Every structure is written in structure tokens, then in C-alpha cells.
Amino acid sequence: MWWPGGWVDPSLLALLDGSAINCLLVGQGAELDPVRSRAQELGIKVVHAESLPADVEIIKGVWPGVTISGSGGLDQISAGPTGAAWVDSNGWAIRLARATRPHDTVWVDAAPTARQSIAAEPYQVAIADSSAHGGRWIVTLDRSQAEALAARQPAALGAWKKIAAATRFFADHRAWAGYVPVAKVGVVSDFAGPDEFFNRELLNLLARTGAQYRILPKDKISDTSFRELRAVIYADSEPPVADLRARMLAWVRAGGLLITVPKCGDLGGAPAAGGTHPGFSLRVLGSGRIAQSKTEPDDPSRFASDSVVLVSHRYDLVRLWNGGATAAYYTMAPDKSRALVHLLFFAGRGADEATVRVMGHFRTAAISTIDSPAPRKVRVEPQGDAVEVYLPPVSQYVALELVV
């Protein structure tokens, strides 16, 4: 937690009771010395942003949710592929940081928006958005919230209790961070240099489409990297090295779909019979296909949406009905005995009657939420290779656990 600069009274540390907050980022002013001393007496770690633990990576995030322009009102939401009407989330950035530096703990630095009220729900969403993807949001209070808490205002104290409960909920389920993503699409890149913006934004926009993907850093490709994937996206500005090229083409010949760009070079194969795409040349190689863009892409939004179309929505791993502005992150326990789908409802409230379709064979399902952490069984109906789960009215975050 970023300790508010105006909280010079060490007795305010009592607010942390019942939360999972055990580390404070505190300013260097001498007026905060009593806070630092008391925190250390209580066993709470105190650090500075300039001297973080070696195994911590801070990423600059966004305040998660749907941004409304102007003074507020649904009539003032601007549209567009990357406009304010889209949901902002830190999930993709956390997953990328974990994929490239797997041994680090990822902290997300994202301050509340200027118009944030003292309501607890947006803070709970910020905590859930980071925690669901294996990171930790640095609890950061809006100035009005901090001032109201320091004054012990009842409404602020009630909201803080809910915020503290959210931190505790995910601390009690820290094993979830060890679950692995279930995916049908893999994105191969170094996510750096000239490819940094395009491929990072590609991850962001694929997540917004609801695609369940796996992040595959180029220097970490192994024999199992493409396992269970239906498609692989390679959009780097440089051709793949010989070993990576050979691995991708062998996987295509076995039945995969490679979505790539002209700079990947001539990949062989024969023109596909039937089926066209205005932006891609389609070729058949062995049992698989290659979709190569006709021009070098400069719009990650278009490339993301085209990739989803090329893969086909029939292979979607998670679908939601009546969910509104939602995001889903599908993961599996390492022993594959159970799955966990994190569901985030980014609008001002949760869903009243949402239905979730999850690809896979499962016998039972249960949900837990921040305000009701004890698992509750929910109705499951098999649908071929998937199940449909019917949710009761829920809050803005739901952990959907499915038992194989």
C-alpha cells in the first residue's frame, strides 16, 4: 500500500488490521518517521519506491474499468477500438511481466481516477483485476478517501472494511496464482524494441475480445510451448530465427494455424482452396494452415480482430451472456483436477443473471466472491465439449471453480 502522505499519525496503522497488507511504501519525509517506526514494530515491512526488493517488479498500470468522458453519463462514452468505451484492465501487462520474469512478484501502480468517490467497489475491482492475473495492486487511496478515513468518517470506514476484505480474499487464495492459463491462441514475440508497442497492444486488444491466449516469449520457446494451441500469432518485425521457424512450421504441418506477417518470409505451402480473407493470404501446409497478412500491419486493433476471426469464435473457451462489460481469465490447476475462471464485471455493479459457457468436461461448479467467500455450488449443464453455468446475482468479481 502507498501510505498517504498526510497520514502522519501512527495510530492509523490500526486500519490495516483484518487486511492482508503487510508492506508499505512510505515517503521519505521526517514527519513520517513515527509511522515507519511503529510499522516496523508491528512487523509490517516499509520500503521506498527507489529501493524495492530485488524480486519485485512494478509496472505502471491503468485504473481498471470503463472510462466515461466529461462530467459523467452513459451518453458521454466515446466509441472506438481503443476509445474510452472499452474496458481498461492490467491483466495482460501482469501476465506479460510474469512470462518474461517468472520469478518476480508483480506490483501494479495505478492510482484512482480524479473523480473517484469513497465507494469500495471500484477499489475491489482494482484489487481483483491484478490479483486474478497473479499480480498485486498497490493499494492507493484517492485523497478524499484518505482524508475521510483519517477523520474516521463512518462511510469511509465501511468502505475501507470492504477494501481490506478484498485484500484478504486473494491472500487466502494465493495458490490460484500458480494456476496456468488455458488457451487456444499463442502470441510469440520478444515484446521489446521495435515490436514493443504493437505486440503489447495486441495482447491488450486480444484480451478485450475475450480471447484466451498464452504469452510465448521468443527466447523461451520449447517443445511444449504450442501444446493444445489452435493458433499461433507471430507479428514481429524481424523473421524468426531458424530454430523458431522450424518449430512453428512443424507445428503447422501437424494441424496448427500460423497467423503472421510478410516479414516472416516465404513459408511454403499451397494456396488454400475455399475460404478467403481480404487482408490475408491463406495457404495449406501439411494438415495445417498459414494466414499471412498481405501488408505489414500498423494497426494492432485490426490485427487482433482479424486474428480472432481467422481462429473462429466456434473455438472460444469462455462465453458470457448478460454479463455487460466483462473480462474472463481461464486457468487450470497444475494437476488439472480443477479449473478456475476469474470473472470481472467492470460496470458499476455485478450481473443479475449471467450465464457462462466454459469449454471442458466438468462435473461440478462453485462460485466465491469477495463479499461471500465461502464456495457456493451453482447449476451446471453439459453442452457437448463444454458446460454452461448459471450464475445468481453476483458482485463485480466472481471466482468460478470447476471440478473435472
CATH number at residue 366: 2.60.40.1180
Say whether both 329 and 345 belong to one domain. yes
23 in the same domain as 130: yes
- 3-class DSSP state for residue 305? helix
Residue 358 domain-assigned (yes or no): yes
- H helices of 91-241, where? 91-100, 121-132, 143-150, 154-172, 196-209
As given in the structure block, the three cell numbers for residue 208 are 478485450
Give the residues across from 290 on adjacent strands. Answer: 258, 283
Do residues 214 and 241 both lie within one domain?
Answer: yes
Most distant CA pair in the chain, distance: 74
Local confidence pLDDT in tens for the 404 residues of the chain = 999 999 999 999 999 999 999 999 998 889 999 999 999 999 999 998 777 888 899 999 999 987 655 444 444 444 444 444 468 999 999 999 999 999 999 999 999 986 566 788 999 999 999 999 999 999 999 999 999 999 999 999 999 999 999 999 999 999 999 999 999 999 999 999 999 999 999 999 999 888 999 999 999 999 899 999 999 999 998 999 999 999 999 999 999 999 999 999 899 989 998 777 899 999 999 999 999 999 999 999 999 999 999 999 999 999 999 877 889 999 999 999 999 999 999 877 777 888 999 999 999 999 999 999 999 999 999 999 999 999 998 989 999 999 99
- Say if 50 falls within a structural domain: yes
Supply the range of the domain harboring residue 284. 193-313
Work out the number of other CB atoms within 10 angstroms of the CB of residue 298.
8
Residue bearing cell 509496472: 59
Residues 59 and 119 in one domain: yes
- Angle ∠(293,299,303) on CA atoms, nearest 5: 45
- The answer to whether position 225 is within a domain reads yes
Pairing of strands 23-25, 45-47: parallel
Is 183 domain-assigned? no
Q: What is the pTM of this model?
A: 0.90
Q: Are residues 140 and 198 in the same domain?
A: no
* Residue 360 belongs to a domain: yes
Whether 122 is covered by a domain: the verdict is yes
Whether 1 is in a domain gets the answer no
